[in-house]
């Protein structure tokens, strides 16, 4: 399966439009995370790719092969893909081995080869000792591995995973993420993983597609999304970001000169890289773009609360008279709550503000991926 391409996909359920004009272009061997808040249509998009739903508009291609459009449809069984369901969907009446072996049996493979492939797969996910157990005798993490093994034993060109970690505890989640990365590297299969957790997406994916309200907001590498978010939603969703409403007064060579609104102290000449022309804009910030100022700072803010994490004091502050987002600074000493402090802005990314409703289109992922490689 050379690459997965979606063009203008739309889908509605009983009058409710769930997917709007979805475009996606995923290179072979990629690991895509479909990231978005719950209810934004991630599962629906995944099920469309799997062939469990039919699109109302647009078309889906695997390489040159037209897989689904308004008037053609390749059924799921002919798409050569695997899927790990959120519920794991293990067949309760079969053992672990039975689950992994079931689909191979129907492929008329020689017995010895089948056995070898199942053993190899069980070993790869560390389930050999449990091969004769039934699903209800396994823990959540073990079931997850069975589901993975069951999909991968068929050597699909594309593996779809729907929130595979949602039912696991934090510790297990990290182990499984490492496992996903390892299996992805070992098999060369293209992975598409659905998640609502941006940390999870950043941890495993080579590409991330951020969705909201049935639209893809941005597709790119984790670095793209973090450093150059296309919309305010992406900026806030990825990397615990915050956005401040600002005015761009001038732009030259990709550097915007900003003036900060409201009661915030106007420090002329705040220069931040960005894509917005003169006019209203969003300044997208992460923790490391902010520093406690020795002087008055770019922004005045009031300390709301502090918490001690990983040896640093995470300090949540509310900027005075500008925007509504909280900013977070990482400090090495505690400060009293309610104090007013000045904050220096040392970095960030600027995007246009009025264009929020119609998100900026990024260049296709394929291009970025090539640049990466």
Partner 1 sequence: MLALALCVYVGLITVWPLGQLLLTAFGPGDEGQLLGTMRDTLSARATGRAFWNTLTLSLVSVGISLTLGAGLALAVGLLRMRFRAALSFLILMPLIIPSQILALSWIELLGSQSPILRALGLAPAPGQGNPLYSRMGIALVMGIEHMPLVFIAIRAALKSVPADLVEAARIAAVPPARVLMRVILPLVAPSALAGALLAFTAAVGNFGIPALLGIPGRVPMLTTLIYQRLNGFGPSVAGQVAVLALILTLIAVAALALRAALMRQLRMRIEGGRAFSPSRRAPLWAQALIWAGVAVIAILPLAALVLTSLVPAIGVPFSVEVASLDQYARVLANAAVTRAFGNSLMLSGAAAILCVAVTLPLAYLATRRPSPAVTALDLLAEAPWVVPGTVVALAMILAFLPPLPLLGVSLYGSAAILLIAYLARFLPLVLRPVMAAAQGADPGLDEAARLAGLGLADRMGRIFAPSVLAAALAGGMLVVMTAMNELTLSALLWSSGHETIGVMVFSLQYEGNSTAAAAVSVLSTLLLLALCALAQVSLRGAGARALPWHQG
Ligand X SMILES: Nc1ncnc2c1ncn2[C@@H]1O[C@H](COP(=O)(O)OP(=O)(O)O)[C@@H](O)[C@H]1O
Q: Does 43 bind Mg ion (CB under 5 A)?
A: yes
If contact means CB under 5 to 8 A according to the sort of partner, which of ligand X, Mg ion, partner 1, none does residue 88 touch? partner 1
Whole-number minimum distance, CB 164 to partner 1, in Å?
Answer: 13
Distance CA 35, CA 124 (A): 27
CB-based contacts of 106, cutoff 8 Å, min separation 6: none
Q: Does 136 bind partner 1 (CB under 8 A)?
A: yes
Of the two residues 164 and 222, which places its CB atom closer to partner 1 in the complex?
164
Of the two residues 196 and 300, which places its CB atom closer to partner 1 in the complex?
196
Q: Which stretch binds ligand X (CB under 6 A): 41-49, 111-119, 201-209, 236-244?
A: 41-49
Q: Does 91 bind ligand X (CB under 6 A)?
A: no
Question: Strands, E, within 27-157: which ranges?
Answer: 31-35, 57-62, 65-69, 72-73, 81-84
Q: Does 44 bind Mg ion (CB under 5 A)?
A: no
C-beta separation of 82 from 158 below 8 A: yes
Distance CA 314, CA 249 (A): 32
Distance CA 66, CA 36 (A): 27
In the list 40, 96, 146, 235, the residue contacting ligand X (rule: CB under 6 A) is 40
Query: In the numeric block, which tokens belong to residue 80?
Result: 């050569």
Which residue's beta carbon is nearest to the bound Mg ion?
43
Q: Does 15 bind ligand X (CB under 6 A)?
A: no
Q: Does 52 bind partner 1 (CB under 8 A)?
A: yes
CB-based contacts of 24, cutoff 8 Å, min separation 6: 4, 5, 6, 209, 216, 219, 365
Distance CA 290, CA 343 (A): 7
* Residues touching ligand X, count (CB under 6 A): 10
- The sign of the CA dihedral 108, 109, 112, 118 is negative
- Pairing label, strands 312-319, 327-331: antiparallel
Distance CA 63, CA 26 (A): 10
Q: Does 332 bind partner 1 (CB under 8 A)?
A: no
Q: Which stretch binds partner 1 (CB under 8 A): 49-57, 116-124, 196-204, 222-230?
A: 49-57
Q: Which stretch binds partner 1 (CB under 8 A): 47-55, 186-194, 242-250, 344-352?
A: 47-55
Q: Does 164 bind ligand X (CB under 6 A)?
A: no
In the list 43, 144, 218, 315, the residue contacting ligand X (rule: CB under 6 A) is 43
In the list 57, 89, 168, 360, the residue contacting partner 1 (rule: CB under 8 A) is 89
Q: Does 44 bind ligand X (CB under 6 A)?
A: yes
If contact means CB under 5 to 8 A according to the sort of partner, which of ligand X, partner 1, Mg ion, none does residue 87 touch? partner 1
User: How much is the CA Rg of the chain, to the nearest whole Å?
Assistant: 24
Q: Does 195 bind Mg ion (CB under 5 A)?
A: no
Q: Does 139 bind partner 1 (CB under 8 A)?
A: no
Q: Does 18 bind ligand X (CB under 6 A)?
A: yes
Strands of the sheet with 349-352, listed across from one edge: 270-273, 255-260, 242-252, 279-285, 349-352
Give contact residues for ligand X (rule: CB under 6 A): 13, 18, 36, 38-44
Give contact residues for Mg ion (rule: CB under 5 A): 43
């Amino acid at each position: 399966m050379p690459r997965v391409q979606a063009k203008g996909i739309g889908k509605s359920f009983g009058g409710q439009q769930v997917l709007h004009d979805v475009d996606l272009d995923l290179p072979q061997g990629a690991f895509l995370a479909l990231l978005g808040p719950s209810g934004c249509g991630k599962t629906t998009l995944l099920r469309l790719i799997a062939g469990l739903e039919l699109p109302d508009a647009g078309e889906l291609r695997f390489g040159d092969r037209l897989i689904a459009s308004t008037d053609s449809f390749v059924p799921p069984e002919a798409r050569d893909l695997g899927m790990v369901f959120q519920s794991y969907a293990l067949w309760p009446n079969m053992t672990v081995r039975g689950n992994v072996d079931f689909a191979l049996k129907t492929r008329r493979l020689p017995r010895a080869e089948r056995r070898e492939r199942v053993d190899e797969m069980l070993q790869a996910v560390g389930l050999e000792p449990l091969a004769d157990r039934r699903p209800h005798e396994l823990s959540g993490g073990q079931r997850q591995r069975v589901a993975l093994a069951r999909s991968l034993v068929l050597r699909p060109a594309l593996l779809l995973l729907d929130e595979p970690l949602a039912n696991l505890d934090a510790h297990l989640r990290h182990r499984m993420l490492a496992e996903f990365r390892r299996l992805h590297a070992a098999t060369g299969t293209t992975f598409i993983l659905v998640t609502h957790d941006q940390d999870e997406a950043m941890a495993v994916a080579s590409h991330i597609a951020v969705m909201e309200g049935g639209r893809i907001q941005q597709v790119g590498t984790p670095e793209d999304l973090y450093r150059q978010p296309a919309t305010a939603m992406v900026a806030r969703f990825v990397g615990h970001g915050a956005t401040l409403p600002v005015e761009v007064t001038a732009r030259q060579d990709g550097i915007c000169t900003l003036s900060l609104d409201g009661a915030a102290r106007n420090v002329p000449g705040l220069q931040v890289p960005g894509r917005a022309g003169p006019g209203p804009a969003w300044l997208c910030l992460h923790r490391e773009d902010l520093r406690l100022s020795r002087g008055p700072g770019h922004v005045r803010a009031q300390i709301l609360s502090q918490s001690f994490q990983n040896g640093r004091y995470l300090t949540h502050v509310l900027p005075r008279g500008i925007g509504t987002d909280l900013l977070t600074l990482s400090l090495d000493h505690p400060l009293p709550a309610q104090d007013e402090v000045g904050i220096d802005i040392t970095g960030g990314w600027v995007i246009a503000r009025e264009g929020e409703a119609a998100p900026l289109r990024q260049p296709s992922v394929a291009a970025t991926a090539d640049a990466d490689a």
